[in-house]
Amino acid sequence: MADWDSADLLSRFNDEAARPSSDEYTATQKYALLADGQEAVYQDIAKFCPHVLYGTPTALTAASDLKSFTFGTDVMPIGLVELYPSLAAIPDDPLVEGIDYLSEGMLIRTLNNQAWTRGTIYGRWIQMPARIAVGQAPTLTPKQARTLIVHKALELFGRRGAANLDLAAVARAAYDDDFARWLLLWKNQFFTQGTQNDAAAAWWRHSPDLG
């Protein structure tokens, strides 16, 4: 067991929930809570600091008629999605929704039923992580932030059937405190990055003559 791997998160869950060594609530059930917890953490981060969860630019999958593109098999991107007509276009020349494509949730579609002829479309987006399980480690980084997963799993556990609402409340308070701390760290990680936030964009982008 290594710090902050799936087994370690399970151990931390058991310790904070004061679960007995012989527990009727199985490890499989607890891993499911941790998996749900990680997904909830991803959703919360995506609302405020999506850049933390972006991967490398990824090629979209084109339909045979080149009139629609998907993000993968049954992939619904979350957070702010950035699309580009080539790797060289990143970050200054993104595709614009309504001008270059239409968004339909799990896919994008070309305009006016025209085939896309400009080559590969690349995107930056957030994908939901693989479900935490035995042998499937959590993916949230940095690893120390995975305490958020434990807090959220404990909240979900306490709310289950309203069995331990006191535990749920304590876990929620711990989650809120830790999330605020991590959010501040993430937001200041690249102070001028902005992640499509005009308020933080370079000054010249606001000038009608220079933007």
The pLDDT value given to residue 91: 93
Instruction: Count CB neighbours of 100 within 10 A.
Output: 16
The pLDDT value given to residue 196: 52
Query: Encoding tokens for residue 1?
Result: 């067991």
Single out the residue of 79, 92, 39, 49 nearest to residue 180, CA to CA. Answer: 49
Q: Could you report the per-residue pLDDT of 79-113, keeping only the tens digit for each?
A: 889 999 999 999 999 999 999 999 999 999 999 99
Question: Looking up tokens 């959590």, which residue turns up?
Answer: 138
The pLDDT value given to residue 203: 46
| Overall residue count recorded for the chain in this entry | 211
Report the distance separating Cα 82 and Cα 207, nearest Å.
23
Single out the residue of 136, 172, 134 nearest to residue 154, CA to CA. Answer: 172
pTM for this model (two decimals):
0.84
- The strand order across the sheet containing 58-59 reads 58-59, 122-126, 78-84
Asked whether the beta carbons of 87 and 57 are under 8 A apart, the reply is: yes
Asked whether the beta carbons of 180 and 174 are under 8 A apart, the reply is: no
Report the distance separating Cα 186 and Cα 173, nearest Å.
20
The pLDDT value given to residue 98: 96
| pLDDT tens for the 211 residues of the chain, in order | 899 999 999 999 999 999 998 999 999 999 999 999 999 999 999 999 999 999 899 999 999 999 999 999 999 998 889 999 999 999 999 999 999 999 999 999 999 999 999 999 999 999 999 999 999 999 999 999 999 999 999 999 999 988 899 999 999 999 999 999 999 999 887 755 444 544 444 544 545 555 4
The pLDDT value given to residue 211: 46
Mean pLDDT (the chain) is 91
Alpha carbon 128 to chain centroid, angstroms: 6
Report the distance separating Cα 5 and Cα 44, nearest Å.
21
Report the distance separating Cα 175 and Cα 171, nearest Å.
6
Query: Encoding tokens for residue 129?
Result: 């992580």
